[in-house]
Amino acid sequence: GAVVSQHPSWVICKSGTSVKIECRSLDFQATTMFWYRQFPKQSLMLMATSNEGSKATYEQGVEKDKFLINHASLTLSTLTVTSAHPEDSSFYICSASRPSNYGYTFGSGTRLTVV
Amino acid sequence: TQLLEQSPQFLSIQEGENLTVYCNSSSVFSSLQWYRQEPGEGPVLLVTVVTGGEVKKLKRLTFQFGDARKDSSLHITAAQPGDTGLYLCAGEGGGSQGNLIFGKGTKLSVKP
């Protein structure tokens, strides 16, 4: 149980375009999901907390207008990278807290390459 | 700012050897989690420790949470090539829920 599905696994886009990444909790409801970014050979950095039915909470230094987060249902959160640039190329990972337990279930990640 | 110092950053050992990975902080965490991450995939939770002094075992892996809940260790006995991967510690307690503070990870390579 407690599976988080992330899609797509990888995407290549042109500079200036927007990319949407989906994160779904398959067998549980997640009122809160989290978006992380991981650069090569570095650890995960929390970007924002996605709250169902309300605005996301962004970490310091993360542009909310560039990284749009929508959490319209209890099982789906989306991250849209707008006007992507090569420096946005990274590994984006979502997670959700597992019900009645500690620890978090992570999606399989999305490798974004902006060319 | 809460930080988790994880060491060593890289570890290359022979099959059958033992190893320990350390995760240290000056901050107190309500819980500390250990994850394993394969290339191109998200981290997979191995264990969560909550109580100071707690010890948890997962087959050949032994996890310990420090008495003051500021540090943790992962010990692997008789390492196998299948243990190869990136091990991450993550502390929770930095304010809002889900704000996991991750260590930089330990890249383990076990050679047959």
Q: Tell me: the pLDDT tens digits for B43-69? A: 999 999 999 999 999 999 999 999 999
Q: What average pLDDT does the segment B69-87 reach?
A: 96
* Residue in chain B nearest A57 by alpha carbon: B96
B84 exposure class (CB count in 10 Å sphere: 0-12, 13-18, 19+): middle
Asked if B97 lies within 8 A of A104 by C-beta distance, the reply is no
- Whether the CB of B89 is below 8 Å from some CB of chain A: the reply is no
Closest by Cβ to B104, choosing from A32, A43, A57: A43
Compute how many other C-beta atoms are within 10 angstroms of the C-beta atom of residue B17. 13
A98 within 8 A of A36, measured Cβ to Cβ: no
Q: What average pLDDT does the segment B66-79 reach?
A: 96
Flag residues of chain A having pLDDT under 50. none
- Whether the CB of B91 is below 8 Å from some CB of chain A: the reply is no
- Output the pLDDT for position A52: 84
Asked if A49 lies within 8 A of B42 by C-beta distance, the reply is no
Asked if A43 lies within 8 A of B105 by C-beta distance, the reply is yes
Q: How far is CA A12 from the centre of its chain?
A: 16
pLDDT band at residue B5 under the 50/70/90 scheme: very high
Tell whether the model's pLDDT for residue B82 goes beyond 90. Answer: yes
